[in-house]
């Protein structure tokens, strides 16, 4: 049985993510155990809240190295919202170093009278890696749900899997690199589109297990 570990570090609505994964046909398990992360078939790192407490909680629970090791091993990994941001080296929101798995920085939206901060609500994706398995069976420019005040700015633009435009700013909405995928929006709150994205991730997990 393929078990997807959902990382518990006190920084996210884990149950809504688990419900979405269950609807997508997965068997999620909420855990903060390094051993269970190692044994799981895949890992999902959700998150809401602030950057510094998130990385501190991960480190206090001894989860930084198991997460890095899982990604390096080729295990399917999906970060959601704050779970995307903490993969980067640093954030303008705080002073603590991020996990540094992806080179780049998390930045705050520029002040603009035409936009609201946080960026909250439905918006359309521009798929910059349209052949990514994460986007299978999606329409062009799918609508998804965002809630965030900061966005990721990867050093290597090739890792961008999707962008979104908020006011005059076009920012990274998702990244994908081999087995590592992460999104700024909330698939668990994005209706049928979000469920399809989660289903696509689960399909990759099953393919990895069967290989």
81 in active site: yes
How much is the pLDDT for 211? 82
- The active-site residue, picked from 81, 119, 148, 166, is 81
Q: Give residue-wise pLDDT tens across range 87-127.
A: 999 999 999 999 999 999 999 998 777 788 899 999 999 99
How much is the pLDDT for 12? 78
Helix, strand or coil, per DSSP, at residue 124 = strand
Query: Rounded CA gap, 95 and 185, in Å?
Result: 24
188 in active site: yes
148 in active site: no
Q: Give the percent of the chain with pLDDT over 90.
A: 86
Helix, strand or coil, per DSSP, at residue 188 = helix
What domains appear along the chain, each with residue ranges and CATH number?
3-210 (3.40.50.880)
What residues contact residue 154 under an 8 Å CB cut-off, 6+ apart? 88, 102, 103, 104, 160, 172, 175
Q: Identify the CA nearest to 121 among candidates 174, 46, 190.
A: 190
Q: Identify the CA nearest to 31 among candidates 43, 49, 16.
A: 43
- The active-site residue, picked from 119, 148, 166, 186, is 186
Over range 142-151, report the average pLDDT.
96
- The active-site residue, picked from 18, 57, 119, 188, is 188
Residues constituting the chain: 211
Burial (Cβ within 10 Å: 0-12, 13-18, ≥19) of residue 21 = buried
Over range 35-42, report the average pLDDT.
96
Mean pLDDT in the chain? Answer: 95
Q: Identify the CA nearest to 154 among candidates 125, 133, 116, 184.
A: 184
Cβ 11 vs Cβ 57: under 8 Å: yes
Cβ 44 vs Cβ 197: under 8 Å: no
């Amino acid at each position: 049985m393929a078990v997807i570990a959902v990382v518990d570090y006190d920084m996210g609505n884990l149950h809504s993510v688990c419900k979405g994964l269950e609807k997508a046909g997965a068997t999620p398990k909420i855990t903060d155990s390094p051993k269970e992360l190692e044994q799981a078939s895949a890992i999902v790192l959700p998150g809401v809240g602030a950057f510094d407490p998130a990385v501190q909680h991960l480190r206090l629970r001894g989860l930084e190295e198991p997460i890095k090791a899982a990604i390096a091993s080729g295990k399917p990994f999906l970060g959601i919202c704050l779970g995307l941001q903490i993969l980067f080296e640093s954030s303008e929101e705080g002073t603590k170093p991020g996990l540094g798995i992806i080179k780049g920085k998390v930045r705050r939206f520029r002040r603009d009278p035409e936009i609201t901060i946080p960026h909250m609500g439905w918006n359309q994706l521009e798929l910059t890696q349209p052949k990514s398995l994460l986007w299978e069976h999606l329409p062009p420019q799918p609508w998804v749900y965002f809630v965030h005040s900061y966005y990721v700015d990867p050093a290597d633009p090739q890792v961008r899997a999707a962008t979104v435009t908020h006011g005059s700013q076009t920012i990274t909405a998702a990244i994908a690199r081999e087995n590592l995928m992460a999104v700024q929006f909330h698939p668990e709150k994005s209706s049928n589109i979000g469920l399809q994205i989660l289903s696509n991730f689960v399909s990759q997990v099953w393919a990895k297990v069967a290989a």
